[in-house]
Amino acid sequence: MKKPLIILYLLLSVSLFADFSSYRQNIENLRQLLLEKEAETQNLNEINTTLTKLQKQKQTWLNQRKIAKLTQHKAKKTDHIFVIIEEISALRKRCNSDFNTLYEKNFHTVDSLIGQLNTNPEKRKANLSQLLEEKGKRDFLLNSQKYFSTLDHKSFEIKQNFNVFDLANHELIDDLVALLESKILNIETAKASAQKEIKMRQKLNNFHSEISTIQEPETFTTTSSSTTESEKGIENSWNDESLSNYDNTVRGASGSFETYDELTNENDFLILFETKTNESMDNFLNRMDSLQSYYTDILKELLKRQ
Amino acid sequence: MARNIKPRILYLIFLILFAPSLCLGNNNNIKLSVASSLFSDNNIYEKINDPKVTDLYYRLGIKTGITLKNGLQHFTLNFDSNVQNYFNYPNENKLFSRINIDYLNLLNKKNFISMTGYYSRKNWFNIDKSYDNSFLNLSYNHKSNAINLSGNFITGHYLFSYFSEFDHFFFGFSPKVKIRKSNQLSYIIFYDIRMYDYLNPFIDQERFDKSQTINLGFEYQNGLIFGTNFQYSHTRSNYDFLGNNSFVIMPYLSAEYNNFYYQIILKWDLKKYQNTINTNQINLIFPDPEANTNNQFYFGVDREITKHLSITGKIIFFASEYRFQDDFYQKFLIGFGLKYDL
C-alpha cells in the first residue's frame, strides 16, 4: 500500500521542484535519444535489406555464415532500439509533467509582472526585462512540446496573457522598445567579437600550418601530437553542446564536419592542441542570430501596433 | 622507387593534383591557398660558427584539400607543396611536399575511430639529396560535452633519409584527455610512448630508442587566444650518448589590433643529454640540420586587402641543434609576401 504513495509523492515532488534548466537538459537528452533511435532504425533497415538480398542468393557456406552474423547483429540492434524506446518513454513522461508545472508557473509569473508593469512605473524597466525572459521561456516550452506530446497536441489550451499589455501606455511601450533595441545592440557587439575570434583562430591555424613547412618538421627527438584532421572534424561535434553535427550527419544535412580550416599533419612540431575549428563559435553565432531575429520580430510587432 | 623521382617531375605531379581544386573553384568541400613570399636568411647552411652565408630566397607555397562525406564516414585528403629558390646559392633550392589522408567513422554519437596517413618528401633541386617520411596513426576516441578522451592505439612511422643510417621505424601509444572548463578555458593532458627501431645504425650494433612524453597545457580565449603547453620528455637509447631529458615550454598567442592580425609562437627547449661523447662522428644525431628541433620563435602579421587576398609578414628565429649533439646553430629569417585563400 505504501509503495504507490511513495511513487506518487516522488512524482509530485519532481513536478513541484521542476526547474527550467533541468527541463531544457531533459529536452536535449530526449532529442538526442530520438536521433539515436532514428539512426539505429536506419541501420536496422539496412541490415534487413542486406539479409533479404543474401537469402535470395545461393546458400553457400560463406553466405550462411554472413546471414548468421547479420541475424545476430540484427538481434543486438533490436534490443538496443527497445532500450532506447524505453528511455524515450520515461523521459517523455518526465518532460510532460515538468512542462505542465513550468507552464503554469510561467503563466502566473507573467500575469503578476504585467500587473506590476501597469501599476508600478518605477520598477518598469526591470520588470520588462524579466518579462522578456519569461516570454523566451514560454516560447521554448511551447516549441519543445513536439518532442514529448503526440501529434495532435493542440488540445492543450495555450494561455495567452501577453496580449494584455496596455498599449495606450506609451511610456511602457517606449521602455520596451528601448530595452529591445539595447538587447539587439548587445547581440550585435557579441557577434562582432565572436567573428573576430573566429578570424584569429583561422589565422593562428594557418600560421601554424605555414611555419611547419618553413623548415622540415622534426619527428625524431620530441613527440608531436597535434590535432589531426579527423580529430578536428569530431571536435566540431565535441565543442557543440547540442551535438548538431551528429544530428546533421544522421539527417544528411549539409554543413557538418568542416574537417579543415587549413592543413595540419602529425609531424607538426608544436603542439598547438587548439588547432580546433571554429565550430563552437559558429554555433554561438547561430544562436545569437536566432536570438537577434527573435527580438527583432517582437520589436517590429510592437512598432507596427504603435 | 620514390627516391628516384626528380623534384621537378614531382612538382608537376603535385600541380596536376591541385588542378581539380582550381577548376572546381569555391566549393565548401574544397580549399585552396597560395602563398608567395620573399625571405632573407642569415645562415642558409645552418653553420655554427662564422662566417655564415646570407641570401634571399623566393618561396611559393600551394596547399589544397578535399573532403568527402558519406553518412557517418568522412574522408579528407590534403596536399601541400612549397618551393624555395635562392638568389645566389641554387644548391640550396628545394621542394617540400606532403600528403595527408584522414578518415573517420562515427560509431555512435559519442565514439568514433579515425585513421591518419601522412607522407612527406624533401628534395633538393640541384644536388642529389632527398628524404621521405611516412606516418600511420589509428585511434579510438570518446567525446562528451566537457571532456574528450582519445587513444592513438597504434602509431606507426617510417622514415627514409639520404643518410641511410637514419632510416627507422617506430610505433607508439598516446592516450590523450582534453577538458573544456568553459568556453574560454580548456586544458589538455597527454602521455605518449614511442619505440624506435633503426634499420641501418651507424655503429655496428642495433639501435633501439624509447621516448616518453607527458604534456600539460591550457588555452584561454576571450578577445584574444593565448595558450601554453609544458612538456617533459625522457628518451632512452642503447646508444648511451643519445639518452636525454627535455623540458619544453610552448606559449602561443593570436590577437587583432587595428585590423592587423598578429600571431606569436615560441618553443623553448631545455634539453640535457645524460652522457656526452666528444667524437662528432658518433654524436651525429640527425641528418637534416634544417629540421626544427629545439628553440624557435615565430612572429607573424597579416592584413587583409580583400576577402581572399592578404599581405603577410614574418620574423623567425631558430636556435636549434645541428647534426651533432649539443651543437647549436642560430638562424634569423625575415620575410613578407602575399597570400591568396579561396
CA of A200 vs chain B CAs: smallest distance (Å): 6
CA of A135 vs chain B CAs: smallest distance (Å): 26
pLDDT classification of A100: cutoffs 50, 70, 90: confident
Q: Which residue has the higher pLDDT, A86 or A235?
A: A86
Does B100 sit within 8 Å of A229, measured CB to CB?
A: yes
Q: In chain A, which residues have their Cβ closer than 8 Å to the Cβ of B286? A: 218, 220-221
Please choose, from the candidates B267, B342, B301, B65, the residue with its C-alpha nearest in 3D space to the C-alpha of residue A203: B301
Please choose, from the candidates B158, B118, B161, the residue with its C-alpha nearest in 3D space to the C-alpha of residue B290: B161
Decide: A99 and A146 in contact? Cβ < 8 Å: no
Please choose, from the candidates B253, B218, B216, B251, the residue with its C-alpha nearest in 3D space to the C-alpha of residue B233: B216
Residue A268 CB burial class (10 angstroms; 0-12, 13-18, ≥19): buried
Q: Enumerate the β-bridge partners of residue B56.
A: B40
Q: What are phi and psi of A166, to 5 degrees?
A: -80, 95
CA of A231 vs chain B CAs: smallest distance (Å): 8
Decide: B325 and B242 in contact? Cβ < 8 Å: yes
Question: What pLDDT does residue B36 have?
Answer: 93
Containing A151, the helix (H) or strand (E) segment is none
∠ Cα B18 B22 B25 (to 5°): 140
Interface with B, mutate which of A36, A80, A204 (most B CBs under 10 A): A204
- B146-162 pLDDT, tens per residue? 666 666 666 666 665 55
Does B104 sit within 8 Å of A230, measured CB to CB?
A: yes
The whole-angstrom separation of Cα B229 and Cα A222 is 14
User: Following DSSP, what letter does each residue of B284-331 receive, concatenated?
Assistant: B--S-TTS--SEEEEEEEEEESSSSEEEEEEEEEEEEE-SBTT-EEEE
The whole-angstrom separation of Cα B64 and Cα B340 is 12
Is the predicted pLDDT of residue A9 greater than 50, yes or no? no
Determine the residue of chain A that is closest to B140 in CA distance.
Answer: A231
Decide: A213 and B290 in contact? Cβ < 8 Å: no
Q: pTM for the complete prediction?
A: 0.70
Decide: A202 and A261 in contact? Cβ < 8 Å: yes
Q: In chain B, which residues have their Cβ closer than 8 Å to the Cβ of A265? A: 78, 80, 98, 100, 118, 120, 135
The whole-angstrom separation of Cα A210 and Cα A219 is 17
Does A213 sit within 8 Å of B300, measured CB to CB?
A: no
CA of A216 vs chain B CAs: smallest distance (Å): 5
Determine the residue of chain B that is closest to A273 in CA distance.
Answer: B188
Q: In chain A, which residues have their Cβ closer than 8 Å to the Cβ of B174? A: 223, 225
Q: Is the ipTM of this complex over 0.90?
A: no
- A132-180 pLDDT, tens per residue? 788 778 878 888 888 887 644 444 555 555 555 555 667 777 777 888 8
Q: In chain B, which residues have their Cβ closer than 8 Å to the Cβ of A278? A: none
Does B78 sit within 8 Å of A263, measured CB to CB?
A: yes
Does B67 sit within 8 Å of A260, measured CB to CB?
A: yes
- Give, for all 342 residues of chain B, the pLDDT tens digit: 444 556 667 667 766 666 665 555 445 677 788 899 999 999 888 888 878 899 999 999 888 888 887 767 788 888 888 899 999 999 889 888 888 888 888 777 677 888 888 888 888 888 877 777 777 878 887 777 666 666 666 666 666 555 566 677 777 777 878 777 776 778 888 888 888 887 776 666 777 888 888 988 888 888 888 889 899 999 888 877 778 899 999 899 999 999 899 999 998 988 888 876 655 545 555 667 776 668 889 999 999 999 889 999 999 998 887 766 667 888 999 999 999 987
Does B102 sit within 8 Å of A214, measured CB to CB?
A: no
How, if at all, do strands B94-106 and B55-70 pair?
A: unpaired
Question: Is the N-terminal amide bond of A217 cis, ω within 30° of 0?
Answer: no
